């Protein structure tokens, strides 16, 4: 399977600040990555699809100006939570689309964001 890393694993920030989360595909080049959000004891909700070299596609209800996604290379996608508020506190998880052989998706370890 693919190896996916996320950084940081945990972050605490003050309300109004911006936080950048990195998602890296460590062992293959991923043209497509996904960003999900997970609330406690809830399932994963897709936020956006990140395609290398093009603008991200956001799901309905996700503010693109608040959650900035940049997929600048085939191994790195970043999610920036701008002007964070306590309601943005959540577990953010990225995944990469692996099209080698039978396609599947592999997930990163997640980033826990707490906004005070």
Which chain residues interact with another protein by CB under 8 A?
1, 4, 6, 31-32, 34, 42-46, 49, 91, 93, 95, 97, 99, 102-110, 112
Residue 96 burial (10 A CB sphere; 0-12, 13-18, 19+): buried
Query: Least CB distance from residue 112 to another protein, whole Å?
Result: 7
Which of residues 16 and 109 has its CB atom nearest to another protein in the complex?
109
What one-character-per-residue DSSP string does 68-111 give?
EEEEEETTEEEEEE-S--GGG-EEEEEEEEE-SSS-EEEE---E
Which of residues 4 and 81 has its CB atom nearest to another protein in the complex?
4
Which of residues 14 and 102 has its CB atom nearest to another protein in the complex?
102
């Amino acid at each position: 399977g693919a190896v996916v890393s996320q950084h940081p694993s945990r972050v605490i920030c003050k309300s109004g600040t911006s936080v950048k989360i990195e998602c890296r595909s460590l062992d293959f080049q991923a043209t497509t990555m996904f960003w999900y959000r997970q609330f406690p004891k809830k399932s994963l909700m897709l936020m956006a699809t990140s395609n290398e070299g093009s603008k991200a596609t956001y799901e309905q209800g996700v503010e693109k100006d608040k959650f900035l996604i940049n997929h600048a290379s085939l191994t790195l996608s970043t999610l920036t939570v701008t002007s964070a508020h306590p309601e943005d506190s959540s577990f953010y998880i990225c995944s990469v689309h692996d099209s080698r052989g039978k396609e599947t998706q592999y997930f990163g370890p997640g980033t826990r964001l707490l906004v005070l």
